[in-house]
Amino acid sequence: MRLLQASLVLVVAGLCMGPPHVLAQTPDVFYRGRTVELYVGTDPGGGYDLYGRLVARYMGKHIPGGPTFVVKNMPGAGHLRMANWVYGAAPRNGTVMAAAPQSVAIEQLLGTDGVQYDARRFSWIGRVAPVVEVTYTWHTSGTRTLADARQRETVMGGSGAASPTVFYLKALNQLAGTKFRIIPAYPSNAETNLAMQRGEVEGGSKAWASMKVDNADWLQEKKVNILVQYATSRDRDMPDIPLMMELGRSENERRALKLFALGNAMGRSIMATPDIPQERLVALQKAFLDTMGDSELLAFTREKKIDIGPTLNGEALKDLVEETLAMPPEVVALAKAARGE
């Protein structure tokens, strides 16, 4: 009987472990002939889609085995639908990656409804570039500066409660005295911009790098007014535009506003599912850094005027997540109040 029980244990253990040839697969064997899916939590167009497709275009040749990349858009709930799916439902074998929402750790810290992930457990691959975002109004708006936004109600478009296009403006209302009225009814920046041109709203928010590419004519023809930039230091293109974190009326308010700006340091980053086998994760992280130095990618970004760098590796991104989630309770309380929670 004991011999039979021991035999059954060995059989079950063997079944759980899987065939030896699968466990022994090196990254080049595993990825050969496979497809890697890279998910974007927005509709096509905009910064996340731009940088996600940029990585997908070049990274495959730097991964051992040379897999094919396919970009899939999964919009919904300000990136939460995609982030939750990548965390909880996607295969955890290194074939699913994603354009990481820059507020992924902030949403967890603030307890946003619908968050079903622990940002510390995502597999962090690397950052393409930090993000400088801006809030802007159309040239017909009576709000041309941040000072104007403190004096008059300004109707702004946004794309969901968890999106920076909404909560940045709520934070400014609470902590900097602005009077933005936010319409969070637009799935993407493209639809917000159409609504702005139709006169439904007066303005919106988006990444500065995307605006320089998508709306270069607006900037050249002075069709938009840049009110504020979201970053931890002023962008060289906008030395006279105030930073969000400079606008608080007290030190604690400025610290709370800086919390929101910390998401910009996460920037346009790539993450993958939790629990990827370590050898594959290391291969993906190295392939990402090699991709960022790819001569064809660098030539393409120069031609298209796409900002990249400075890059960060996966460990540095993980450290940013940890730093965000370690913010003190008094800052968290102010930030939550700023969003009306």
For the stretch 278-327, pLDDT in tens is: 999 999 999 999 999 999 999 999 998 888 988 999 999 999 999 899 98
For the stretch 43-67, pLDDT in tens is: 998 889 999 999 999 999 999 999 9
Task: Name the one residue in this structure whose structure tokens are 């938009």.
Answer: 224
The answer, yes or no, to whether residue 139 has pLDDT greater than 60, is yes
Task: Name the one residue in this structure whose structure tokens are 């919904």.
Answer: 76
Distance of alpha carbon 61 from its chain centroid, rounded? 24
Q: Are 72 and 40 in contact (CB under 8 A)?
A: yes
CA distance to 39, 85, 129, 266, per residue, from 51 (Å): 11, 20, 9, 13
3-class DSSP state of 278: helix
Mean pLDDT, the chain, as a whole number? 90
Burial label for 113, CB within 10 Å (0-12, 13-18, 19+), is exposed
In DSSP terms, 243 is beta-bridged to: 229
CA distance to 11, 28, 38, 163, per residue, from 98 (Å): 37, 21, 5, 17
Q: Are 124 and 339 in contact (CB under 8 A)?
A: no
Residue 162: pLDDT band (50, 70, 90) is low
Distance of alpha carbon 164 from its chain centroid, rounded? 10
Report d(CA 87, CA 199) in Å as an integer. Answer: 39
Report d(CA 49, CA 35) in Å as an integer. Answer: 19
What domains can be seen in the chain, in order of their start residue? 25-130+267-313 (3.40.190.150), 133-263 (3.40.190.10)
Per-residue model confidence (pLDDT) at position 45 = 86
Does residue 310 have a cis bond before it (omega within 30 degrees)?
yes
Residue 228: count other Cβ atoms within 10 Å of its Cβ. 24
Report d(CA 240, CA 246) in Å as an integer. Answer: 12
Torsion angles phi and psi, residue 49, rounded to 5: -65, -40
Residue 18: pLDDT band (50, 70, 90) is very low
Residue 258: pLDDT band (50, 70, 90) is confident
Task: Name the one residue in this structure whose structure tokens are 């974007």.
Answer: 40
Type and span of the H or E element at 302: helix 295-304
For the stretch 104-128, pLDDT in tens is: 999 999 998 999 999 999 999 999 9
3-class DSSP state of 98: strand
Residue 87's identity, in one-letter code, is: Y
Residue 209: pLDDT band (50, 70, 90) is confident
